[in-house]
Structure 1
Amino acid sequence: MFKTEPLLKSDIVGRAEIETLVNTFYERVRADDTLGFIFDKVAQTNWTMHLPKMYAFWETVLFRTGGFTGNPLAAHARLVPLTDMGRDKFDRWLQLFRGTVDDLFAGERAEHIKNCAADMANVIYSRINGVPDPRFDPANLTLEQRARYSRYQQPAA
């Protein structure tokens, strides 16, 4: 019997990987019992327009080259009167996002995009629901966030 080696995953290196990530992620979102109806029924997402915006958004986040323009906060806030936008929805979104990244990629940028997604989910959740941002509770900070926070807390030289 032959033993096969696991395939090594590459990191996110450009637009092609971002498109693969976004497409795979939103396929999972649309099939998800918790989130699918929000995108398809409540927000009535036009996927032909939404996906290129998301490619540009994540390319801007990772490489500063995507040219994203828009207001993600306003897009999510308009849904609050239409459906529950509670913590469980953002936690599920983040779980699917992290899982998709982990299934497809490995490396520094893959880790960075997951941390950026967590930051974004926390900001949007707290702002549209008028609650404190959970990132400011030290118990909820990732190691990367703790390191950044500690640098901000150091007195200027």
Structure 2
Amino acid sequence: MSERSTDAKRTDILGRDEIVVLVDSFYDRVRADDVIGPIFNEVVELDWSAHLPKMYAFWQTVLFRDGGFRGDPIGKHARLVPMTDMGRDKFDRWLELFSATVDDLFEGENAEHIKRCAADMANVIHSKINGVADPRVDSSKLNDEQRARYAKYRGSRS
């Protein structure tokens, strides 16, 4: 594993180097996980040497807007629905592993932001591929930051 020692002071996610550490550590956990590991290891049979650089670019784009990611995460996940269960429990487990990895390695504004982005993505992808309502649309479940982002998004689409 590429995790940092728990004795080391955790810093924030500052750039590509930290994204690589996060992604590598996260997918080490995913591959070993009893709940979602089989999806990656047996159903998809990922080529990790190709997948990991895409994930570095994806998260760098999410966090810093400069990773150059181009892709279709919803489409990629939707193709799995006929092959395996892609229910809420799988997305909750993914998010639990992702958040725990971030918390074990980093702390700071970007670390918190990437966890919120991951939660938003898990909700969107789950709702789109399973044809269920996106829980973010229920305004009673939005936090202040999500309300502000949603209002800004809605304003830009008018």
TM-score (norm 1): 0.88
Does residue 87 in structure 1 map to residue 64 in structure 2? no
Q: Summarize deviations over 1:86-111 as a string: whole Å, max 9, x none.
A: 00000000010011000000001001
Q: Summarize deviations over 1:61-118 as a string: whole Å, max 9, x none.
A: 1111111111111110000000000000000000100110000000010011001101
SS of aligned partner of 2:13: coil
Aligned to 1:102: 103
SS of aligned partner of 1:83: coil
The alignment of Structure 1 onto Structure 2 pairs a total of residues equal to 149
Distance in structure 1 (CA, Å) of the matches to 2:58 and 2:154: 29
Does residue 22 in structure 1 map to residue 12 in structure 2? no
Aligned to 1:72: 73
Q: Which runs of 5+ in 2 are unaligned?
A: 1-6
Q: How does 1:2-81 map to 2 (within 5 A)?
A: 7-81=8-82
TM-score (norm 2): 0.88
SS of aligned partner of 2:41: helix
Q: What amino acid does structure 2 have at the position aligned with 1:24? A: S
Does residue 141 in structure 1 map to residue 142 in structure 2? yes
Distance in structure 1 (CA, Å) of the matches to 2:153 and 2:82: 36
Residues 104 and 146 of structure 1, relative CA distance in 2, 3 Å threshold = same
Aligned to 1:111: 112
SS of aligned partner of 1:79: coil
Distance apart, 1:7 and its partner CA: 4.3
Distance in structure 2 (CA, Å) of the matches to 1:130 and 1:140: 19
Deviates more, 1:141-150 or 1:76-85: 141-150
Distance apart, 1:136 and its partner CA: 1.4
Distance apart, 1:46 and its partner CA: 0.8
User: 4+ residue runs of structure 1 moved beyond 4 angstroms?
Assistant: 149-154
SS of aligned partner of 2:133: coil
- Percent identity over paired residues: 66
SS of aligned partner of 2:55: helix
Distance apart, 1:135 and its partner CA: 1.1
Distance in structure 1 (CA, Å) of the matches to 2:95 and 2:72: 19
Distance in structure 2 (CA, Å) of the matches to 1:150 and 1:72: 24
Larger Rg: 1
Q: What amino acid does structure 2 have at the position aligned with 1:85? A: M
Q: What amino acid does structure 2 have at the position aligned with 1:89? A: K
